[in-house]
Amino acid sequence: AFDENMKVWMDGEFLALKDAKISILSHVVHYGSAVFEGIRCYETENGPAVFRLKEHVKRLFESAKIYKMDIPFTQEEIFDAIIETIKVNNLKSCYIRPITYRGFGELGVNPLNCPVNTTIAVWEWGAYIGEEEMKQGANIGISTWRKPAPDTLPVLAKAGANYMNSQLANLEAREHGYDEAIMLDYQGHVAEGSGENIFIVENGKIVTPDLGSSILQGITRDSIITIAKDLGYKVSEEVISRERLYLADEVFFTGSAAEVTPIRAIDNRQIGIGSRGPLTKELQEKYFDVVNGKTEDIHNWLTYLE
Ligand code: PMP
C-alpha cells in the first residue's frame, strides 16, 4: 500500500506517485530494459543516513554502461536527487529505488531509438524476509532454476530482466514452503539467493562464493567482508559446492533489503544449531550498529541528510 501522494523523482522533477506514469508502449515494459538499485536509509541519532550511497550510484551507472544506456545525469546529480527525494518525503528511514529504463520511442528490440529515463522512489520497508527470521533464521530451498551462464545475461548488471530468473526461483521456493531460494550457477556451484548474496561459516572461517560464480557483486557482501576482517575473522571467496551448505556451521544471506538474514535450514536439513549462529549474530549486530550510526563510521559509509 503505497501513498499515492508520495513524491517520486522523474528525470529531474518531483511528481506525486499517482502522476508518475510511463507509456504502456515503453521499451522497458516489453523487453525488461531497466537497471536499478536497492538502497537503505537508516534513522540515526544524527538524523537519517543513507548507507553506501556512492557505491550504489556507481553500480547503477556500471549496470547502465553494460547495456549502453546513457544516463543524462552525472553520478553526483543522481546522488543529490536521492537525498532530495528522501527529504521531500520526510522519511527518517526508508528503502530507496532508483531505476533507469528505456522509455517510449520505437518498439523493435533495437534499444537505441528510445529515451533513457530515470526515476527515484522511496518508501518504508521493514525486514525483507521477516522479522522472526532475522532472529530464528530462514527456511531455504535450493532452486532447480540456475543463474544464467556468463555469456547469457551479465550478472554484474543489476538489470530488471535478471529478476525474471530470480522470480522463477522465488516462486518455486515458496511453492515448496520455503522462505526463499538459493540458486546454483551454470556449473552447479552455489551462487546466491534470488535477491541476496550468501555466506557460510566453517570452523570459524567465513566463506562466500567468488565473483566467478555468477553472483551480483553485492554492496552488503562487501560490507560484511570488511566488517568481518575488521573483527579479525578470516574471509575467503571460493567456489562452493552445494553440500558444503548442508555441512556448514552457519549460513546467512546479505543484501541491502535482506541486511543480514540467518538461515536455519536448507533443503530440510538443519544448519548448525538450527537457529541464528553465534558468528552470524555478531556480524548482524555489528552491521546494524554501523548502519544505525551507533559505532564510529571508520569506512565513511554513511551519508547524513542534515
Ligand atoms: N544478489 C542479488 C541477485 C540481489 O538482487 C541483491 C540485492 N541487490 C544482492 C545479491 C545483494 O546486493 P546488495 O548487497 O548490493 O544489495
209 pocket-lining for ligand 1 (C-beta < 6 Å) = no
Nearest CA to ligand 1 atom 10: 196
Q: Quick check: CB of 160 below 6 Å from ligand 1?
A: no
- CATH number of this structure's domain 131-291: 3.20.10.10
Residue limits of CATH 3.20.10.10 in the chain: 131-291
C-alpha cell at 170: 522465488
Please name the residue whose Cα sits nearest to atom 9 of ligand 1. 196
Is the pLDDT assigned to residue 306 strictly greater than 90?
Answer: no
Q: Rg of the chain over CA atoms, in angstroms?
A: 19
Residue 13 pLDDT: 98
Q: Cα–Cα distance between 162 and 172 in angstroms, integer? A: 16
pLDDT the model gives residue 81:
98
Q: 3-state SS of the chain: helix, strand, coil percent to 5?
A: 30, 30, 40
Q: What is the pLDDT, as a whole number, of residue 130? A: 96
Q: Could you tell me which of 95, 68, 69, 101 has the C-alpha nearest to residue 82?
A: 95
Instruction: Please indicate whether residue 197, judged by its CB atom, sits closer than 6 Å to ligand 1.
Output: yes
The answer to whether the CB of 264 falls within 8 A of the CB of 271 is: yes
Using a pLDDT cut of 90, give the percent of the chain over it. Answer: 99
CATH architecture designation of domain 7-123: 2-Layer Sandwich (3.30)
253: alpha, beta or left? (left if phi > 0; alpha if psi -120 to 50): beta
Cα distance between residue 212 and residue 156, in whole Å: 11
10-46, pLDDT tens digit by residue? 999 999 999 999 999 999 999 999 999 999 999 999 9
Say what the pLDDT of residue 105 is: 97
First to last CA, the chain: 28
Cα 22 from chain centroid (whole Å): 25
What is the pLDDT averaged over residues 110-120? 97
pLDDT tens digits along 218-261: 999 999 999 999 999 999 999 999 999 999 999 999 999 999 99
Q: Confidence class of residue 156 from pLDDT cuts 50, 70 and 90? A: very high
State the Cα–Cα distance between residues 251 and 266, nearest whole angstrom.
Answer: 9
For 49-53, what is the mean pLDDT?
98
User: Is 104 a residue whose pLDDT tops 90?
Assistant: yes
Mean pLDDT of 154-177: 98
Specify the domain boundaries for CATH 3.30.470.10 within the chain. Answer: 7-123
Among 50, 185, 253, 256, the mutation site with the greatest number of ligand 1 atoms within 8 A of its Cβ is 256
Cβ-in-10-Å burial (0-12, 13-18, 19+) of 4 comes to exposed
Does 208 score more than 90 pLDDT? yes
For atom 11 of ligand 1, the residue with the nearest CA is: 255
pLDDT at residue 1 is higher than 90: no
Ligand 1 geometric centre to CA of 108 (Å): 30
Complex prediction ipTM: 0.99
- What does the mean pLDDT of the chain come to? 98
Kindly state the cell numbers that stand for 42. 537508516
- Rounded to an integer, what distance in angstroms lies between the CA atom of residue 297 and that of residue 188? 38
Q: Is 158 a catalytic residue?
A: yes
C-alpha cell at 214: 555468477
Q: Is 99 near ligand 1, meaning CB less than 6 Å away? A: no
Best CA proximity match to 41, nearest among 100, 3, 97, 1: 97
Interval 140-155 mean pLDDT? 97
Please tell me the predicted confidence (pLDDT) of residue 289.
98
Ligand 1 neighbour 221 (Cβ under 6 A)? yes
Mean pLDDT computed over 93-111: 98
